[in-house]
Copies of this chain bind each other. A is one copy, B any other.
């Protein structure tokens, strides 16, 4: 079975690496950005091209959501399976006469950070049973956690991930702005950040809440609002505290 990965970003790199580590050959990485493709190709010893898409049985499209439709048109072959890797697109976005599928890894990917692929949940969806089995089997070679998911459910998985990952990272970035402004090393906060995350592995997040808002400590809330000089930080501060108070009916 010949597999081609399309795209030269973080998802492409990590999927290609996960495939390779689990002895699933990838015959080509195809994309636009030659230097990114060359990096992946050099790291993983997989041929790349920016011009000629190889023949394959399975094409995995790992490009940004806005480009999936356009890129899917490059595949003119009909007797093949094409899967995108997006959390928020239906498989019908794929615009060709091939069999369509979705192969969604629930993780945040950066090239410079190694990952334990065994722990990444994969959500697969296809038009037919046979393709579903195929995608499940591939995913199961990489990860212990493989689920079938409809587009309807996948959208909510992606939305949840935005809260639990993208917004969380942004809070770290805003927190660092505050500590930087006072020349407080951000490293001081890493044990606290680690503990906050480890805690929810054994405690419901709702039961793990601490801080001035859940104590309804108006003095601290007001004092903090007066400390904050950045308008974006202040908006976040107010909305998050209001939301905490609403959740606990304070």
Contacts and interface: CB of A to CB of B under 8 A. Distances in A.
Contacts of A147: 188
Contacts of A206: 173, 176
Contact of A196 (B10, B165, B202, B246): B165
A215 to B, nearest CB: 6
Nearest to A172: B205
A128 interface: no
Interface string A146-169: 010000010111111111111111
A207 to B, nearest CB: 8
A178 B193 contact: no
A52 interface: no
Interface size range on A against B: 35 or more
A155, A208, A217: residue with the most chain B Cβ atoms closer than 10 Å: A208
Contacts of A247: 170, 173-174, 232
Contacts of A179: 156-157, 160
A235 B239 contact: yes
A188 to B, nearest CB: 5
Contacts of A120: 191
Nearest to A214: B166
Given A88-B220, A160-B179, 7 more contacts: A10-B210, A110-B208, A112-B203, A160-B178, A163-B172, A163-B236, A168-B172
Closest A-B pairs by Cβ, 8 of them: A166-B211, A172-B205, A163-B175, A173-B205, A164-B175, A119-B191, A156-B182, A232-B243
